[in-house]
DNA sequence: TTCGCGGCGTC
DNA sequence: CTCGGAG
DNA sequence: CTCCGAGGACGCCGCGAA
């Protein structure tokens, strides 16, 4: 169907100034791909005709074919981009970096996957013990999220380490970062100006993982200094075998170890490769490896089967610590039997796709039954519980998270699988009051929402956020929380994710008892008509919710399958529908240099509203989304013309050194911006003197601001005024206030 | 001991 | 969380 | 459609300087 992926450097007749590296892959890679592309006929002989030895002839599904094409081509020439190391020895970090570099140089997803899985195969073949750390380094992790291991390293410490390792001043490093927009490349550049003194031992994946892990676990006095020292050690050992200077404008800096070390520390590999792709690649690698051990080539159907197995298993049991050993031991095709959903290990929650109108929802679900639920404005919470008197036990891989609760043990996880058990001891303490006697084990999908005990209603998200996060004692919980449950994934020893939502919901209602202010079922409605939905949406907003979730109710499609049908739920948020009410016209006061793919343009901007009373511009938010690449180019061109040395005296902005934009502008351009909500802000100044904040210290800012368009027709002094912003804030507050009209007095809380 | 700042999580 | 780009 | 990586406000936490 498609042209074979061109080699990375197919610049026409660009002389033979080739880099050795980009060459390497070409001969083996392109030749078989092209020949195969020839034989394309729109056929559907469906069945996989014999795999081995005749991969030239089969004509399966088009997509699968394309995929296998790349896969096969990379395997055909057995030659790996990085030569084999000795079997059983630790995997060289350089080998991983070589793969990273190849991945980084293409945007083709099939090619990325091919590079990735080819390398994983090599690891499986030579040093399978290193598979786990290899995968972890690929997805920029050190351990599962619920382990709570954080590097505690940011840009500033990395810059310090780079400076000290290479003998360059911090100021120079900072300057480079502004221009280059990638600390990894800054590290490469810094290093290449420094002749290598002597060669330390080459880094291995194991050693890097260990080193990073030790950085992550450092605490206490002088921890930052020790972290910097450790980084310096790693950086000094990086690229031991590289020869001299590297041109960072070429091949994105090449396979430099320092570059990827730094990017790992930043938490962004920026390869175009992330977890989803790694999982698929891992499946491909595994199935190919298993076949190779029998002297075979995997069949297309086995490849597809493996991919779907691993995806499904991962979505139910997202723990490489469990999956990888099980996979190596039992084979990937048997993985399902060994890795099932189990209480104690958080599973990936199902996510929803944003929707712009109710009609869009109706289109999507045409001919199917669906259901609507309030979308609560809180924090996703996955509650796991196992009663002691059952045969089961809460998986011990999270033992620190579990808590004794009533007659069982329980834990709570966040949307991103972080352990929230220490944050919500109050939920866990009350859990026995809403779990029915006959309910012995479960995994619940819910939203925890701040709760006003007096008024018996939900409070805004900003309130929830002020809760303590660590070592919370039930006695000093200030912000009460109510759990709103909307799905059930596991019940009494059995996963129920494959049942329809209608069935799961029935089980949910049957297994738990609502307790006011502690536990409730998400308000739901099964009406299918547009006006019913509209009414329900209005009600949800009045009840301080963000809008609605709309979900398929019956049939296979309604199963809980995070990875496969990840966007099978829809969300309707009020700010999409309510039109101009959430739209502001703001003045551009400053900008920030972009990073990564925004290098060389402004990546974000500082916006303000206008205060006609004082004739000042009061900052209200930064903005960095909603721009197309073309628009960013134009804006950079236009705005760089009106850069000024320092902010105008009539700019009201935060004085914190941290919050200053990289450049300031004349007040000239007005942009239309959309927002979901207005928030009280410690940082921004908008409407500060309008009496919105009782303490008079806070301004107003925007939640989820995004760029809509340039307002050429407006002058800066025609922008949204501070008073208007304040009015919007008051209006938003009044929607949820208990008494109907006009509650605009300033008694708060 | 207190406070500012950077990191990291939530949305 | 929102958004745009690539495949 | 899926996946990825640009970017947002905000508040707790830990470290280190004041």
Q: Give me the A residues in range 704-723 that sit within 7 A (CB) of strand C.
A: 704, 706
What does A593-646 look like in DSSP terms, one character per residue? E--GGGTTSEEEEEEEEEETTTTEEEEEEEE-SS--HHHHHHHHHHHGGGEESS
Strand A408-413 versus strand A602-611 pairing type: unpaired
Beta carbon of A10 within 7 Å of strand C? Answer: no
Cα–Cα distance measured from residue A530 to residue A524, given in angstroms and rounded to the nearest whole number: 15
Q: Which bases on strand B have an atom closer than 7 Å to a protein beta carbon?
A: 5-11
Q: Which bases on strand C have an atom closer than 7 Å to a protein beta carbon?
A: 1-7
Structure tokens, A226: 């020790």
Closest CA to A662 of A591, A588, A587, A589: A591
Beta carbon of A659 within 7 Å of strand D? Answer: no
Cα–Cα distance measured from residue A55 to residue A53, given in angstroms and rounded to the nearest whole number: 6
pLDDT tens string A415-449: 999 999 999 999 999 999 999 999 999 999 999 99
For residue A583, with 0-12 CB atoms within 10 Å meaning exposed, 13-18 middle and 19 or more buried, which class applies? middle
Structure tokens, A425: 């001891």
**Which residue is closest to D7 in terms of CA–C1' distance?**
A624
Residue A59 bears catalytic tag: no
Beta carbon of A594 within 7 Å of strand D? Answer: yes
**Which residue is closest to C1 in terms of CA–C1' distance?**
A704
> Can you give the distance from the CA of residue A267 to the C1' of nucleotide B7 in angstroms?
11
What's the start-to-end Cα distance of chain A, in Å? 63
H or E element that contains A457 = strand A457-458
Which pLDDT does position A195 carry in this prediction?
Answer: 56
A71 touches A302 (CB < 8 A)? no
Which pLDDT does position A17 carry in this prediction?
Answer: 36
Catalytically annotated residue among A69, A375, A423, A595: A375
pLDDT tens string A83-122: 999 999 999 999 999 999 999 999 999 999 999 999 999 9
Structure tokens, A560: 């809980």
A328 touches A140 (CB < 8 A)? no
Cα–Cα distance measured from residue A517 to residue A434, given in angstroms and rounded to the nearest whole number: 11
> Low-confidence residues of chain A, pLDDT below 50?
1-61, 74, 398-399, 739-749
Which pLDDT does position A583 carry in this prediction?
Answer: 94
* Ramachandran angles phi, psi of A570, nearest 5°: -115, 150
Which pLDDT does position A745 carry in this prediction?
Answer: 36
Beta carbon of A448 within 7 Å of strand B? Answer: no
A274 touches A103 (CB < 8 A)? no
pTM: 0.88
Q: Which bases on strand D have an atom closer than 7 Å to a protein beta carbon?
A: 1-16
A403 touches A422 (CB < 8 A)? no
**CB under 8 Å, gap of 24 or more: what pairs does A323-326 form?**
A324/A131, A324/A132, A324/A135, A325/A132
Structure tokens, A424: 């919500």
Cα–Cα distance measured from residue A623 to residue A674, given in angstroms and rounded to the nearest whole number: 10
Which pLDDT does position A157 carry in this prediction?
Answer: 97
């Amino acid at each position: 169907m498609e042209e074979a992926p061109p080699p990375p450097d197919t610049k026409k007749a660009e002389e033979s100034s080739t880099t050795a590296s980009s060459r390497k892959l070409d001969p083996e890679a392109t030749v078989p791909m092209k020949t195969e592309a020839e034989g394309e006929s729109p056929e559907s002989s469906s069945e996989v005709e014999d795999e081995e030895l005749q991969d030239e002839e089969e004509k399966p599904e088009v997509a699968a074919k394309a995929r296998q094409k790349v896969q096969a081509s990379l395997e055909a020439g057995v030659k790996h981009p990085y030569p084999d190391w000795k079997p059983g020895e630790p995997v060289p970090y350089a080998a991983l970096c070589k793969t990273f570099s190849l991945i980084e140089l293409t945007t083709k997803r099939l090619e990325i996957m091919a590079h990735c899985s080819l390398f994983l195969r090599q690891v499986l073949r030579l040093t399978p013990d290193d598979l786990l750390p290899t995968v972890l380094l690929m997805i920029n992790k050190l351990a599962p999220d619920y382990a709570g291991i954080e590097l505690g390293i940011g840009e500033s410490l990395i810059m310090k380490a780079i400076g000290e390792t290479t003998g360059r001043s911090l100021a120079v490093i900072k300057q480079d970062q502004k221009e280059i927009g990638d600390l990894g490349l800054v590290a490469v550049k810094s290093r290449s100006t420094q002749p290598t003194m002597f060669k330390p031992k080459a880094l291995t994946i194991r050693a890097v993982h260990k080193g990073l892990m030790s950085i992550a676990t450092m605490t206490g006095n002088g921890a930052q200094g020790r972290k910097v020292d450790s980084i310096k050690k790693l950086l000094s050992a990086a690229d031991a075998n590289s020869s001299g200077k590297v041109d960072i404008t070429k091949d994105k800096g090449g396979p430099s170890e320092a570059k990827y070390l730094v990017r790992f520390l930043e938490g962004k590999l920026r390869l175009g490769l992330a977890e989803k792709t790694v999982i698929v690649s891992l499946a491909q690698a595994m199935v190919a490896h298993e076949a190779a051990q029998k002297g075979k080539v995997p069949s297309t159907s086995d490849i597809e089967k493996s991919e779907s197995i691993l995806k499904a298993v991962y979505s139910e049991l997202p723990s490489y610590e469990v999956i990888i050993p099980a996979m190596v031991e039992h084979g990937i095709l048997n993985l399902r039997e060994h890795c099932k959903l189990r209480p104690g290990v958080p599973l990936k929650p199902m996510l929803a796709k944003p929707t712009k109108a109710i009609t869009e929802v109706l289109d999507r679900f045409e001919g199917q039954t669906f259901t609507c639920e309030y979308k609560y404005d809180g924090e996703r919470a996955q509650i796991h519980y196992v009663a002691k008197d059952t045969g089961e036990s809460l998986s011990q891989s999270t033992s620190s998270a579990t808590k004794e609760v009533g007659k069982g043990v329980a834990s709570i996880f966040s949307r991103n699988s972080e352990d929230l058990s220490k944050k919500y001891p109050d939920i866990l303490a009350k859990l026995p009051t809403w779990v029915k006697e006959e309910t012995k084990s479960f995994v619940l999908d819910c939203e925890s929402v701040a709760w006003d005990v007096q008024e018996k209603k939900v409070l805004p998200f900003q309130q929830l956020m002020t809760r303590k996060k660590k070592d919370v004692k039930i006695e000093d919980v200030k912000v009460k929380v109510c759990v709103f449950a909307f799905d059930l994934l596991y019940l009494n020893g059995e996963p129920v994710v494959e049942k329809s939502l209608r069935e799961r919901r029935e089980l949910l209602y049957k297994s738990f008892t609502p307790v006011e202010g502690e536990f409730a079922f998400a308000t739901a409605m099964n009406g299918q008509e547009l006006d019913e939905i509209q009414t329900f949406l209005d009600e949800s907003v009045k009840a301080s919710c963000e809008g609605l979730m709309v979900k398929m109710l019956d049939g296979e499609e309604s199963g809980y399958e995070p990875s496969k049908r990840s966007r099978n739920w829809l969300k309707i948020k009020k700010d999409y529908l309510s039109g101009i009410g959430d739209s502001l016209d703001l003045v551009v006061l400053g900008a920030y240099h972009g990073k990564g793919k925004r290098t060389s343009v402004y990546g974000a901007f500082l916006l303000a509203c206008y205060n006609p009373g004082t004739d000042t511009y009061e900052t209200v938010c930064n903005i960095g989304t909603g721009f197309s690449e073309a628009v960013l180019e134009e804006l950079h061109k236009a705005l760089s013309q009106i850069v000024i040395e320092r902010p105008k005296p009539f700019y009201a902005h935060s004085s914190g050194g941290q919050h200053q934009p990289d450049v300031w502008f004349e007040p000239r351009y007005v942009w239309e911006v959309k927002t979901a909500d207005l928030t009280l802000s410690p940082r921004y100044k908008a409407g500060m003197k309008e009496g919105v904040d009782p303490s008079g210290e806070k301004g107003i800012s925007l939640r989820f601001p995004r760029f809509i368009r340039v307002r050429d027709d407006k002058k800066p002094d025609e922008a949204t005024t501070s008073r208007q912003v304040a009015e919007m804030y008051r209006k938003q507050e009044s929607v949820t206030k208990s008494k109907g009209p006009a509650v605009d007095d300033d008694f708060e809380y």
